Amino acid sequence: MKDNPYYTIAFMLVVSAVFALMLSLTNEIYLPRIEANELLEDRRAVLYVFELDTEGEAEAVLDRFEEHVEEQTIADIQLYVHLDGEEVLAYAIPISGSGVWGTMNGYVGVSPDITQLTGLIFTEHSETPGLGGRIDETDFLEQFRGIDISEEVTLAYDDRLDAITGATGTSNSVLNILNNVLDEKIRELEVALNG
């Protein structure tokens, strides 16, 4: 009976259906939680580029975000603004581009007069753990705070910036993504802000 082709097809269908059902159910149950985690991660990232405290329970982090940050659209760019009352302290611009293994997403922070970077962070990437994945480490990310962008600059690894290692394409991907954003979105933002 096991060699009967109809049996084979039926067996495969039944097995697939059972496992697909099991997975969909699990996904359904956990989805709200996964989405909440992702939102929290995103909020933390924005707080990080604004040099705000990212520690604490989920609730505290979300409250802090509500208190200091506002979502705005300037020059067709969706961004987050760090506000102190009416005064703008910084902008966080979403960045995206291709890494070595997949798309990398994150935020870059710029000062309100567009002269300095306030921070950089990646929220999503699939770089090699332990190699390219080390772009998540604060030693690397902290270097981007206060980088001067007041003149037309193309960032490179020089005496201001150290790559995680030259042995991964991730290092170049990070710069490419940043330079693209500097060339386009940040210039557009500058134009929009200065009239």
Partner 1 sequence: MAENVRSVIARNTWKENQVLRQILGICSALAVTNLMTNSLVMGLGLMFVTALSSLTISLLRNYTPYRIRMIVMTLIIASYVILVDIFLKANLPEISKALGPYVGLIITNCIIMGRAEAFAQKNPPLLSLLDGFFAGVGYTVVLLIISFFREFLGFGTLFGYEISFVSFEPWTIMVMPPAAFFIIGVLIWISSNLFAPKGKKKP
Nearer to partner 1, 19 or 162 (CB): 19
Nearer to partner 1, 129 or 195 (CB): 129
Dihedral pair phi/psi, residue 161, rounded to 5° = -130, 135
Q: Residues 132, 97, 142, CA angle at the centre, nearest 5°?
A: 50
Report in angstroms how near the CB of residue 99 gets to partner 1 at its nearest.
Answer: 11
Report in angstroms how near the CB of residue 55 gets to partner 1 at its nearest.
Answer: 13
First to last CA, the chain: 79
**DSSP at 169:** T
Report in angstroms how near the CB of residue 167 gets to partner 1 at its nearest.
Answer: 9
Nearer to partner 1, 120 or 189 (CB): 120
Report in angstroms how near the CB of residue 103 gets to partner 1 at its nearest.
Answer: 13
Residues that bind partner 1 (CB under 8 A): 2-3, 7-8, 11-12, 15-16, 19, 22-23, 26-27, 30, 33-34, 37-38, 41, 101, 126-131, 133, 136
Nearer to partner 1, 70 or 137 (CB): 137
SS3 of residue 20 by DSSP = helix
Which of 104, 82, 70, 109 lies closest to 93 in space, CA to CA?
109
Q: Residues 159, 134, 163, CA angle at the centre, nearest 5°?
A: 20
